[in-house]
Structure 1
């Protein structure tokens, strides 16, 4: 079942394109957990067709300037904490801290993390924020330990709201894979597969070294909002399909000051939240990514009847 996941970059079994903590490959595994160029092309064409049908054009910059794409969107959020009775429990304060990180990341307010670098950071405010509508806790050993295998019954039992509501689940996803998600193009015809799952140890203050500031949730939610990895398609068009993220041949691992893996203008977007760097080095979305996710929300999730979306 394809989807999108943030994984520790070692092989391991991943359900989708993923963020991993140590990468010795170019995010092209053999287990089917990544998107092919054909899949990405089809998804971008579907998005363009829906954008044209709704707004009469596909120029996201012009549509945003004319305020036809909503300039600001508040996403209702439910957090579902899975436990085995001993492990995985989270306090309300921990949940609220994760939501605060999401709002800082999508609001362009993580740039303070870059003060120790010489690079001037200009993280974009995407125009998207998250409103915590509720949180609950469920004890189920199988669901907690194997959330991907039990994704359909988990979401069938716990998901709240319609296609425009984000359901975020925390469980023991694992150290090789930190989380997984699905894209908005896949909402229709996939009932019960519309949420985001992250490892509970990746939340702010968690126990995963380098991956415990809550950026796994920000990364996976980026996929839920319609963004691909910045290194998608490598140096080949259309890359990730966003016009202001430079092509990137390989995921960013660790915390490099800079890297350049593709010809052409610009260096790799090593600090972009849709890359694979350490949490301490991920702090920005681009203006184009902000326009893309608001457009994706508008055509796939906002005002879409629950009967036509998962």
Structure 2
């Protein structure tokens, strides 16, 4: 609906305390299993945004800058990213489980990635159900999602983390994204899309963070039983009606800067999703409404759009305008442009044993010295040190001549990565 205005963030910021109270109302008590049935789609993204704006007023300014750049790109086709090339987004999935049922399988996770790729590339068979008046607007966003093949430290990975937790039910307070609170820390949000699959409480299916929020909480949280597709992997654990993977499609849309299609105005016909080709719509639609459902004097709500609240089987398209809005994030200077150069989707090549580099002594107190193959040029090697959580220890610098001083490191265990181009070895050492 094309009623663009930059005061939206200011209005949301002013309403943040009230919406934050709503978010707290939605939050379950940590440690108690929720039994609340899911009777209709519920997304906590806007309540989470309100709480974030209340806690960090500077976030509104960051989001306003992203919106200004987005509108500038949309107004000038020469500045837009060409969708002729596919954006490849490395994905890491954090599966947090308290029961065996919550520990969804890798196959169920892979079924979700398959759904995302279909929905964002117009490969889903059901897009053909789009009513004739909107059929010409169905868009291929040209974004591909791949499970990460290397970690932020350069190690090989499947892109799926399974982690047991004592927390049986999670709220929208982002604890699931924090290892110290029982969750699992985000990987570098400039290089990966972080997805968390867990047991969300109070009937929530998921929530996401818009561009401009904190990097430590950037990503998407999905109810474990709404993660994946029964149609692609029937042996998984699913919630009926929300078992085709469209919750992730909806929430990743938020992560890519899309708003709810009705503009979150509670039916007032005054809100905006800041997209020109989606019709003005009075409020969210639930279930599978027959077309046309007319509101705000339109010709029928675009209820089949992924950013409405319909059942999984009844949402099956993004519009051209939504595609342009998402792709603005990947244009020069865009808020998610770092994903274009992420190595996360490329598997590391391990150094052959005959030419592998190592180091000594181990344990070490002051200096690590590389043990390089005969004739090797020490300057060609990139050497970095990380703690066991993957955080780079920047106080350690490789001198390019075969040594690095580790005396400033606290005592403990660390990883050292030694690489030449695409080849990387990863070894553990102990700082005395």
TM-score range, shorter chain: 0.7 to 0.9
1:32, CA displacement in angstroms? 4.7
Match of 2:66 in 1: 47
Of 124, 129, 132, the residue aligned with 2:144 is 129
Of 273, 277, 297, the residue aligned with 1:240 is 273
Match of 1:5 in 2: none
Residue 222 (str. 1) matches residue 253 (str. 2): yes
Mapped to 1, the partners of 2:109 and 2:258 lie a distance apart of 24
Match of 1:159 in 2: 186
Match of 1:172 in 2: 199
Mapped to 1, the partners of 2:300 and 2:290 lie a distance apart of 11
1:12, CA displacement in angstroms? 6.0
1:266, CA displacement in angstroms? 3.5
Match of 2:225 in 1: 201
Higher relative contact order (CA 8 A, sep 6+): 1
Residues 42 and 241 (structure 1 numbering): CA distance in 2 closer, same or farther, change over 3 Å?
Answer: farther
Residues 152 and 102 (structure 1 numbering): CA distance in 2 closer, same or farther, change over 3 Å?
Answer: closer
Match of 2:387 in 1: none
Residue 249 (str. 1) matches residue 263 (str. 2): no
In structure 1, list runs of 5 or more residues that go unmatched. 3-10, 52-56
Given that residues 95 and 196 in structure 2 are in contact (C-alpha distance below 8 angstroms), is that contact kept between their aligned partners in structure 1?
yes
Match of 2:353 in 1: none
Match of 2:354 in 1: none
* Aligned-partner SS, 2:72: coil
TM-score, L = length of structure 1: 0.76
Given that residues 147 and 171 in structure 1 are in contact (C-alpha distance below 8 angstroms), is that contact kept between their aligned partners in structure 2?
no
Q: 5 Å matches for 1:1-310?
A: 13=26, 21-22=39-40, 32=47, 45-51=64-70, 58-60=72-74, 62-63=76-77, 66=78, 68-71=80-83, 72-112=86-126, 115=129, 121=135, 123-133=138-148, 134-142=159-167, 144-146=168-170, 148-149=172-173, 150-154=175-179, 157-174=184-201, 176-186=203-213, 190-203=214-227, 204-205=229-230, 206-234=237-265, 236=269, 239-258=272-291, 259-263=293-297, 265-298=298-331, 299-303=334-338
Which structure would you say has the larger Rg?
2
- CA RMSD, 1 decimal: 3.8
Given that residues 41 and 204 in structure 2 are in contact (C-alpha distance below 8 angstroms), is that contact kept between their aligned partners in structure 1?
no
Given that residues 21 and 276 in structure 1 are in contact (C-alpha distance below 8 angstroms), is that contact kept between their aligned partners in structure 2?
no
1:148, CA displacement in angstroms? 3.3
Mapped to 2, the partners of 1:23 and 1:88 lie a distance apart of 20
1:141, CA displacement in angstroms? 2.3
In structure 2, list runs of 5 or more residues that go unmatched. 1-12, 17-23, 29-37, 55-59, 149-158, 231-236, 343-432
TM-score, L = length of structure 2: 0.56
